[in-house]
């Protein structure tokens, strides 16, 4: 990721993007492993109903981002 791509983002967003880029560089297996880890953590934190709400919100946000492009 280029430095100018990070202009206007918060530190937290910047760190999240850098972490995601690092995982992507490791290959699809690393992405799958991290996805499973995050889903497990969401389930542990929020239970099944909370997990479903979080995933639905994330899917909605992604769809909105995709439409705006």
pTM of the model: 0.58
CB-neighbour burial class of residue 41 (10 A; exposed 0-12, middle 13-18, buried 19+): exposed
- More confident position, 62 or 69: 62
Nearest 5 degrees, angle CA 49-CA 51-CA 55? 120
CA–CA separation, 59 vs 28, rounded Å? 20
Instruction: Report which of 15, 3, 60 is spatially closest to residue 23, judged by C-alpha positions.
Output: 15
Mean pLDDT (the chain, rounded): 85
Could you read off the pLDDT of 6-61 as tens digits, one per residue? Answer: 556 689 889 888 888 888 889 888 889 989 999 999 999 999 999 999 999 999 99
Q: Is pLDDT of 5 > 90?
A: no
């Amino acid at each position: 990721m280029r430095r100018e791509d990070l202009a206007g983002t918060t530190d937290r967003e910047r760190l999240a993007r850098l972490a995601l880029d690092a995982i992507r560089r490791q290959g699809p297996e690393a992405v799958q492993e991290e996805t499973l880890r995050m889903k497990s953590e969401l389930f542990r934190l929020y239970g099944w109903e909370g997990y479903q709400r979080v995933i639905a919100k994330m899917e909605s946000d992604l769809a909105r981002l995709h439409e705006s492009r």
